[in-house]
Chain A
Amino acid sequence: MARVSLVWLERPGLEGLAPELVARAAGVALDRGGLVEAVVVTAPEAAAPPALKRRLLGLPVAWLDLALEVGGGDDALRLARAAAAVARAAGRAALATLPPVYAPQPALNVLVAGAGLAALAAAYEAAALGHPVLLATPLAAAHTPGQDDDPEEVSLLAAQLPASVTLAPQTELTELTGAAGAFRARLAGPQGAATQTFGAVVLAPAGQWSVSCEVDGLDPALTRPVWQLQAQEISGPPDGWLYAAVLAGTARPLTADSFSRALRAALALAQRPRLQVALLFSEARVASEGGERLFRECRQAGVLAMRVAPGELTVREGGRLLAWPDPLLGEDLELAPDLIVLADQAAAPRPAFLDNRLLWPSWPALLPDNPRFSGGRSSRTGLYILGALRGTAPGAARREEAADAAADLHERLTGKLVPMPVVRDKICARCLTCVRTCPHGVPRHIVDSIQCAPAGCVACGVCAAECPAQAIAPPGWSNPEMFAGLERALALAAQPRLVLFACANSAMPAVGELSAGGHVWPAGLVMQPVVCAGRVGMHLIMKALELGARGVLVAGCHDGNCRSVSGNLRARLRTEQASQTLGELGLDPESVQFLHLASNQPRALAQAVDQMAAGALEG
């Protein structure tokens, strides 16, 4: 085990702490600039001066944002808290798979599979950033526009494609595995099928208009989808009114873009003479650009906005009469329309290989409703899903999305080095748990061993939490390293000992805010920051209890907020399982708890920690 030195960088929040005392209490040597074997630095990596980084090159370094964890209180308490945090970091550094094991050079080439504006724009933008691009399309030519594209814009863009874009027409992507830096794609073309490696993959199939059938039994003679509507040819009779119904998501809400298209159709109709338009919807989705203004213009033009509860619209008289209960008047309304306009949306078929549940997460998990996954990103690093397949509005938004995706893949393939998970091949049982559980698709099973994609890991540690053989972990986050840190920190902590596993995205900012405000943490609290709460598995929880912790609190993000898709839910599940096991053993099940937290909820965190401390004192 390496001897650890402490490099003390003075930071706001560390005032009044004597480095010598902290080092002595933590059982490490204070760095005097001599030979060292492993180092704890009291600052985050980003705040360290370049000269220090140069000096420490090649050494195991634990970057410890100490100011975050100390908090307020008297000098003795602050010293004890600082010592416990340094001891924890020293324990990890001493075992040292640190410094991070960085990846071999990831592949830089990009596969764009699809056609139309989104595909061309992605190929163009990726090539402009210096990536060789293969544009594979199942169609006869890549510049075939989708039904929802502007053909002129598409042919203009096709003419601008640089030479570094290789076109592969009549070529279909039939299989895909891997993650950023090392995708394996099977392409079936006129010359047969072949497997190639790509650094990043963009899926952007050409869009087609489709109607989401909202109700059954409409008279087909009356119905017309929005994309086929010729409003300027319609007007009412000289002595009366013509009635049109626009169905804009009565069964379930439309996308904002689809709703805007329906609004434009309703407005065009309402501006015709003696035409009365009723717009029926379950939710007015006006979040697209100009959507609210368009909705107002529709009402000003005399369109009747009719909210219908989902599924309440019924069709009678052979599809010629619509009926629904109006919640505002509390009575049933009917309309015998002369014309029924159905909202449409641009859609694209989902590639069949994504249905393989062993290799791919479900569609909602691949494209979570989480703003972090906008701009073409999917939850699989290096895979981008654009255009109609994603549901992006036709036009300029698709070009912007393609540019975002290209910038993101460029950053991921050529930006800062990404750690590689360490796989201990000799004890790996090839159970494929890591392949199934990694939310980023990094570990892959290739020729009877687990190999990792070189640019995909974010060090969330879900693999380490789940691996039954403890054979895989992001560098620095293996169980032995974390156990060693907890052991040294808990040995120093006062009774009752508590462990807080704090997600770096939600809990640690909250911890930092509390500490900066002088919050006094319980003396026995050991904080263990983790990249994602998903790092916390049964091994870690049980080890913390075994080492004498009376309470373990795991704080992770709220549902749907996890950067690793479901790391928070996984951690909650493990916490519940641990709690249940404790109950079965006759121990206090309340001593292991999970807390859903956002970074702006420091008070909730403080409250949960205090409660746990009080519970540990009683028990």
Chain B
Amino acid sequence: MRLNDGDPGFKHQVAAEPGGQGLKSCFACAACSARCPVAGHLPGYDPRRIIRLTLLGRREEVLASPLIWRCSACYSCAEVCPQQVRFTDVLTAIKNIAARAGCAPPAARAGASLLAKHGRLLQVSEFENEKRAKLGLPPVEERPQDFQRLLNIAPEGEGSGEEPA
């Protein structure tokens, strides 16, 4: 790959996104890759590689990659990082950019539309509330309006439903 074909601005864009501040501190020691539990189960998933591609400005390759959505957010990488990169947060920044570019995978979109519809990732029905009543707990109401307002998303929208503010 020719470095001149990359987008030098991409790393600065990710670093400017909330959570992305640590990106440029990375000195590629691979402590995160060694510690990552996902990398052990998912061939091809390598935190250091994702950071490297981002630094080299390979915008399309990073944003379109299905791998960036596979982080389990366990923060093991942040624990071991000697440069305080906080890869989990960096990846959140990258995912936000990917979502705005329309690269979110169907599972993420489904999650967003559930939030818009129910205010939760789980629909609350009578079944749940009857169980709660038996345990002496107050019933739960669905209040999706809060999320719709907060995330500026429409319920069951025809467009991309997960557009954050």
Chain A residues with CB under 8 Å of chain B are 241, 243, 274, 276, 278, 284, 295-296, 299-302, 304-305, 307, 328-329, 331-336
Chain B residues with CB under 8 Å of chain A are 1-4, 8, 11-12, 24-28, 48-49, 52-53, 55-56, 83
Q: Which residue of A lies closest to B48 (CB)?
A: A328
* CB-based contact B1/A331 at 8 Å: yes
* CB-based contact B3/A335 at 8 Å: yes
* CB-based contact B3/A299 at 8 Å: no
Q: How close is B91's CB to chain A, nearest CB, in angstroms?
A: 18
Q: Contacts A296-B25, A331-B1, A335-B3 hold; do A302 and B49 have CB atoms under 8 A apart?
A: no
Chain B residues whose C-beta falls within 8 Å of the C-beta of A295 in the assembled complex:
27
Chain B residues whose C-beta falls within 8 Å of the C-beta of A296 in the assembled complex:
25, 27, 83
* C-alpha gap A196/B158 in the complex (Å): 97
Q: Which residue of A lies closest to B12 (CB)?
A: A302
Q: Contacts A296-B83, A329-B53 hold; do A336 and B2 have CB atoms under 8 A apart?
A: yes
Chain B residues whose C-beta falls within 8 Å of the C-beta of A307 in the assembled complex:
28
Chain A residues whose C-beta falls within 8 Å of the C-beta of B28 in the assembled complex:
305, 307, 328
* New A-B contacts (12) at CB < 8 Å, excluding given A284-B27, A333-B1: A241-B4, A243-B3, A278-B3, A296-B25, A300-B24, A300-B25, A302-B12, A329-B52, A332-B1, A333-B3, A334-B1, A336-B4
Q: Which of A274, A299, A334 contacts B25 (CB 8 A)?
A: A299
Q: How close is A371's CB to chain B, nearest CB, in angstroms?
A: 26
Q: How close is B24's CB to chain A, nearest CB, in angstroms?
A: 5
Q: How close is A269's CB to chain B, nearest CB, in angstroms?
A: 13
* CB-based contact B49/A328 at 8 Å: yes
Chain A residues whose C-beta falls within 8 Å of the C-beta of B8 in the assembled complex:
241, 274, 276, 302
Question: What are some 7 contacts across the A-B interface (CB < 8 A)?
Answer: A241-B8, A243-B4, A276-B8, A296-B25, A299-B27, A302-B24, A335-B2
* C-alpha gap A304/B58 in the complex (Å): 13
Chain B residues whose C-beta falls within 8 Å of the C-beta of A304 in the assembled complex:
3, 55-56
Q: Which residue of A lies closest to B5 (CB)?
A: A334
Q: Which residue of A lies closest to B8 (CB)?
A: A276
The tally of CB-CB contacts under 8 A between chains A and B is 53
Q: How close is A332's CB to chain B, nearest CB, in angstroms?
A: 8
Q: Which of B3, B11, B27 contacts A334 (CB 8 A)?
A: B3
* CB-based contact B52/A334 at 8 Å: no
Q: How close is A279's CB to chain B, nearest CB, in angstroms?
A: 11
Q: How close is A426's CB to chain B, nearest CB, in angstroms?
A: 67
* C-alpha gap A301/B55 in the complex (Å): 12
Chain A residues whose C-beta falls within 8 Å of the C-beta of B11 in the assembled complex:
302
Chain B residues whose C-beta falls within 8 Å of the C-beta of A305 in the assembled complex:
27-28
Q: How close is B4's CB to chain A, nearest CB, in angstroms?
A: 5
Chain B residues whose C-beta falls within 8 Å of the C-beta of A302 in the assembled complex:
8, 11-12, 24
* C-alpha gap A304/B26 in the complex (Å): 10
Q: How close is A319's CB to chain B, nearest CB, in angstroms?
A: 16
The 7 A-B residue pairs with the shortest CB-CB distance, nearest first, are: A276-B8, A334-B2, A335-B3, A300-B24, A241-B8, A328-B52, A299-B24
Q: How close is B33's CB to chain A, nearest CB, in angstroms?
A: 10
* C-alpha gap A331/B2 in the complex (Å): 11
Name which of B27, B49, B55 has the most chain A CB atoms within 10 A of its CB: B27
Q: Which residue of B lies closest to A276 (CB)?
A: B8
Chain A residues whose C-beta falls within 8 Å of the C-beta of B26 in the assembled complex:
299
Q: How close is B8's CB to chain A, nearest CB, in angstroms?
A: 4
* C-alpha gap A328/B33 in the complex (Å): 12
Chain A residues whose C-beta falls within 8 Å of the C-beta of B4 in the assembled complex:
241, 243, 334-336
Chain B residues whose C-beta falls within 8 Å of the C-beta of A299 in the assembled complex:
24-27
Chain A residues whose C-beta falls within 8 Å of the C-beta of B55 in the assembled complex:
304
Chain A residues whose C-beta falls within 8 Å of the C-beta of B12 in the assembled complex:
302
Q: Which residue of A lies closest to B83 (CB)?
A: A296
Q: Which residue of B lies closest to A278 (CB)?
A: B3
Q: Which residue of B lies closest to A303 (CB)?
A: B24
Chain B residues whose C-beta falls within 8 Å of the C-beta of A284 in the assembled complex:
27
Q: Which residue of B lies closest to A321 (CB)?
A: B2
Chain A residues whose C-beta falls within 8 Å of the C-beta of B1 in the assembled complex:
329, 331-334
Q: How close is A579's CB to chain B, nearest CB, in angstroms?
A: 46
Chain A residues whose C-beta falls within 8 Å of the C-beta of B56 in the assembled complex:
304, 333
* C-alpha gap A302/B2 in the complex (Å): 17
Chain B residues whose C-beta falls within 8 Å of the C-beta of A331 in the assembled complex:
1
Chain B residues whose C-beta falls within 8 Å of the C-beta of A241 in the assembled complex:
4, 8
Chain B residues whose C-beta falls within 8 Å of the C-beta of A274 in the assembled complex:
8
* C-alpha gap A276/B56 in the complex (Å): 10
Q: How close is A162's CB to chain B, nearest CB, in angstroms?
A: 49
Q: Which residue of A lies closest to B57 (CB)?
A: A276
Chain B residues whose C-beta falls within 8 Å of the C-beta of A332 in the assembled complex:
1
* CB-based contact B2/A329 at 8 Å: no
Q: How close is B113's CB to chain A, nearest CB, in angstroms?
A: 36
* C-alpha gap A241/B7 in the complex (Å): 9
* C-alpha gap A336/B5 in the complex (Å): 10
* C-alpha gap A329/B12 in the complex (Å): 21
Q: How close is A263's CB to chain B, nearest CB, in angstroms?
A: 13
* C-alpha gap A296/B12 in the complex (Å): 15
Q: How close is B123's CB to chain A, nearest CB, in angstroms?
A: 44
Chain B residues whose C-beta falls within 8 Å of the C-beta of A278 in the assembled complex:
3
* C-alpha gap A276/B24 in the complex (Å): 14
Chain B residues whose C-beta falls within 8 Å of the C-beta of A276 in the assembled complex:
3, 8
Q: How close is B162's CB to chain A, nearest CB, in angstroms?
A: 30
Chain A residues whose C-beta falls within 8 Å of the C-beta of B48 in the assembled complex:
328
Chain A residues whose C-beta falls within 8 Å of the C-beta of B53 in the assembled complex:
329
* C-alpha gap A470/B53 in the complex (Å): 70
Q: How close is B2's CB to chain A, nearest CB, in angstroms?
A: 4
Q: Which residue of B lies closest to A330 (CB)?
A: B49
